[in-house]
Structures are given as C-alpha cells and as structure tokens.
Chain A
Amino acid sequence: GAGVSQSPSNKVTEKGKDVELRCDPISGHTALYWYRQSLGQGLEFLIYFQGNSAPDKSGLPSDRFSAERTGGSVSTLTIQRTQQEDSAVYLCASSLELFPYEQYFGPGTRLTVT
C-alpha cells in the first residue's frame, strides 16, 4: 500500500519568503507528526496531531512555524519569513494511533534557505 508521501522533495527559497510543506499520511492513520532533521541537531519533534484533538505544538521553535491538518488527513507545515537556520530536512510521520504505535516516516522535504 501507499506510504507517507511528502511534497516537494526539495525546496530552495530566499530568506524572508514563506514556504508550505505538504504531508499525505497513510490512509486511516489518526496520528500525524512533523519532525525536523538538521546537521548537528539530529531529529527534533515539531508538532503532532491526533484525530480531532488540539495539536501538540510544544516543539515548534518559533511563532513563524505553524501547521494544520485538514479533514484528519493531509497536513501542511508553514514557515513564515524563513531564516537560514530553518534549512533542514522536514520529516512527516503517521501512525495508526499515538505512541506506542509504530510511526511510518515519509522521505522528507529538504528545505534550503539562501
């Protein structure tokens, strides 16, 4: 079956521009997570959604970052006024329900801010 998909796979943007990253989770998975992976920092949690509950935004690094999940399926991560330190690979994962259910990761979006 289809796994988690993310688009675009690569995004180059100029400092100060806004970007939107998309995640299509596995059908039927109620939980969706966003992580960021950068050199020297490893993989860090950003935000997760579970069903219709309010998302856990505790990992978002600043108010320039936001995310939404429409209809309990597709999610969009938006970064406003991008900075060079936002350059990283943004990974999305979904799971049947919250941990300890296995999280399935997408291939990520590589964001480069110039």
Chain B
Amino acid sequence: TQLLEQSPQFLSIQEGENLTVYCNSSSVFSSLQWYRQEPGEGPVLLVTVVTGGEVKKLKRLTFQFGDARKDSSLHITAAQPGDTGLYLCAGEGPNSGYALNFGKGTSLLVTP
C-alpha cells in the first residue's frame, strides 16, 4: 500500500501553461517535502512544508500543505521546458523512523 498517492502520474503540457500536482495520504505527516528528479540524477529537494495550511513560493512554484497535514499540492505557473522532470513528494512516515516515504511521482514534460 502506497502511503503517499500522487496525481497525475504523467503530465504533458506546452510552455506557458499552468499545472497542479497533488500528493494525498490518509495519514498525518509532521512535514512533507517536494523533490525534483532529472534523468540519471538523484532527487533534489525543492521545499519542506511543516505547518498545516502553509503556502511556500519558490519563483514560479507554489507549494501548499493541507490544513490537516495529510495532503500537499505543487502549482507551477507559466511552465518552462526547464521544469521537465519527475516531481516527488515525501514524508516522514509513521513506520520508517527517520527515512522518507516517497510517492511514486509525477512525470512532467513541458514542450516549447
């Protein structure tokens, strides 16, 4: 059973469009993290959200943590080809101690 469910699994859009990626769980997390992974590389941390209802912005990326701390979303405004990659959400799982539980990811392709 996947602790964190991400949707959509795949997303193909054109440059300039907006998009939202979702990360949902039935479990409560003390925090959630978003990573971006490019082919042949390891994931790179984008942001950590800690407080329920928290909104963080990173240039054109907006991250939100649900009030109940069970879900999160990533919104990208005016997507660019450089945003192409695999977006992963991760949380400190209830059974994994200090290791991270990852969602399966959303693969984003932005075409010029």
Instruction: Report Cα–Cα, A104/B95, bound state, in Å.
Output: 22
Question: Contact at B31–A33, with CB atoms within 8 Å?
Answer: no
Does any Cβ of A come within 8 Å of B112's Cβ?
no
Instruction: Report Cα–Cα, A58/B93, bound state, in Å.
Output: 12
Which residues in window 31-47 of A have CB below 8 A to B? 31, 33, 35, 40-45
Q: For the side of the interface on B, what is the size category?
A: 20 to 34
The 0/1 profile, CB within 8 Å of A marked 1, for residues 55-99 of chain B is 000000000000000000000000000000000101010011111
Chain B residues whose CB sits within 8 angstroms of the CB of A40 once the complex forms: 104
Instruction: Report Cα–Cα, A102/B104, bound state, in Å.
Output: 20
- The DSSP consensus for interface residues of chain B is loop
Which residues in window 84-114 of A have CB below 8 A to B? 91, 93, 98-100, 102-108
Question: Contact at A59–B105, with CB atoms within 8 Å?
Answer: no
Chain A residues whose CB sits within 8 angstroms of the CB of B90 once the complex forms: 43
Chain A residues whose CB sits within 8 angstroms of the CB of B92 once the complex forms: 99-100
| Residue in A44, A58, A99 whose Cβ sees the most chain B Cβ within 10 Å | A99
Question: Contact at B98–A31, with CB atoms within 8 Å?
Answer: yes
Chain A residues whose CB sits within 8 angstroms of the CB of B40 once the complex forms: 107-108
Does any Cβ of A come within 8 Å of B1's Cβ?
no
Question: Contact at A33–B99, with CB atoms within 8 Å?
Answer: yes
Chain A residues whose CB sits within 8 angstroms of the CB of B103 once the complex forms: 42
Chain B residues whose CB sits within 8 angstroms of the CB of A98 once the complex forms: 98
Question: Contact at B102–A42, with CB atoms within 8 Å?
Answer: yes
Does any Cβ of A come within 8 Å of B25's Cβ?
no
Chain A residues whose CB sits within 8 angstroms of the CB of B41 once the complex forms: 105, 107-108
Determine which of A42, A48, A106, A108 lies in contact with B98 in the assembled complex, contact meaning CB atoms within 8 Å: A48
Does any Cβ of B come within 8 Å of A4's Cβ?
yes
Does any Cβ of B come within 8 Å of A76's Cβ?
no
Does any Cβ of B come within 8 Å of A56's Cβ?
yes
Question: Contact at A58–B102, with CB atoms within 8 Å?
Answer: no
Question: Contact at B88–A103, with CB atoms within 8 Å?
Answer: no
